[in-house]
Amino acid sequence: MELLLFNALNDFGITDYEVIEGVNGKPFLKDYDVCFNLSHSGNRVMCSVAPEDVGCDVEEVKPIDIDIARMNFTDEEYSTIVAASEGLKYDSFYRFWTLKESFLKALGAGLGLELDRFNICLDDPIGVDQDADPRRFHFKEYHPDPGFRYAVCSTCDMFSEKMISVDMHKTSIRYLEESSDKSNGNVILFS
């Protein structure tokens, strides 16, 4: 994931940076007004970079006990999931999950805010009913490949239209060459 962050920040002209831990463990860049977030699932890694708070989540769509949604999501979200046709229940579950996770990460609340304390509204545009933060949060979903769900949430309303695929082999070579002495609109990258 560090390679993906390196690549994304390099695209912003940031090559010398230090990642430090903020409130609730949310990582941020020291001395830069750029926010980022990382996520991984299966063989996918996702990085989101924005000028304002941002969170992202990628999840592999696979069988799961749908009762997790009954116990952790709002009644409205759970009803939407169980109303989905049998072949789409898991996809519906992970759609809510990635949107909720991206919101929590943008908020910087970690798991301190219970999942049933806010409701994802699948209107157009996607929204969130919540009372944890007065700011307006914006969402974007991406569908680059089947079998995975990708979501980004930010207080910034500018999103890339498409995800950008990164060749991690080339990035790792560039990373090793440029950062061998380092310890450490939205751009979405995945590998």
Convert the pLDDT of each residue in 125-169 to its tens digit.
999 999 999 999 999 999 998 999 999 999 999 999 988 877 666
- Least confident window among 89-98, 108-117, 172-181, 182-191: 182-191
In this prediction, residue 171 has a pLDDT band, given cuts at 50, 70 and 90, of low
pLDDT at 177 over 50: no
Q: Which residue has the tokens 């006990």?
A: 65
Q: What is the pTM of this model?
A: 0.87
Residue type, 190: F
Contact partners, residue 178, CB within 8 Å, separation at least 6: 6, 10, 15
What is the torsion angle, in degrees rounded to the nearest 10, for the CA atoms of residue 62, residue 66, residue 68 and residue 71? Answer: 160
